[in-house]
Structure 1
Amino acid sequence: MPSITFHTSGKTIEVDKDANLLRTSIRHEGSVPFKCGGGLCGTCRVRIVDGQEHLSKVMKKEIDRLGSDKIEQGFRLACQTFITGDVTVAWGEEDVERLNKIAQRRINAAQ
Structure 2
Amino acid sequence: MPSITYQNSGKTIEVDKDANILRTSIRYEGTVPYKCGGGLCGTCRVRIVDGHDNLSRVMKKEIDRLGAERIEEGYRLACQTFVTGDVTIAWGEEDLERLNKIAKRRINASS
Letter in 2 for 1:103: A
TM normalised by structure 2 equals 0.99
Structure 1 residue ranges without an equivalent (≥5): none
What count of residue pairs does the alignment treat as equivalent? 111
TM normalised by structure 1 equals 0.99
CA-CA distance at 1:42 after TM superposition? 0.1
Secondary structure in 2 aligned to 1:12? strand
CA-CA distance at 1:68 after TM superposition? 0.2
Secondary structure in 1 aligned to 2:8? coil
User: In structure 2, how many angstroms separate the alpha carbons of the residues matched to 1:21 and 1:56?
Assistant: 11
Report sequence identity in percent.
80
CA-CA distance at 1:75 after TM superposition? 0.1
User: In structure 2, how many angstroms separate the alpha carbons of the residues matched to 1:6 and 1:108?
Assistant: 30
Q: Superposition pairs for residues 18-97 of structure 1, below 5 Å?
A: 18-97=18-97
User: In structure 2, how many angstroms separate the alpha carbons of the residues matched to 1:107 and 1:40?
Assistant: 7
User: In structure 2, how many angstroms separate the alpha carbons of the residues matched to 1:31 and 1:56?
Assistant: 21
User: In structure 2, how many angstroms separate the alpha carbons of the residues matched to 1:71 and 1:8?
Assistant: 20
**Alignment RMSD (CA, Å):** 0.3
CA-CA distance at 1:70 after TM superposition? 0.2
Q: What's the CA shift string for 1:53-86, capped at 9, x where partnerless? A: 0000000000000000000000000000000000
User: In structure 1, how many angstroms separate the alpha carbons of the residues matched to 2:13 and 2:36?
Assistant: 23
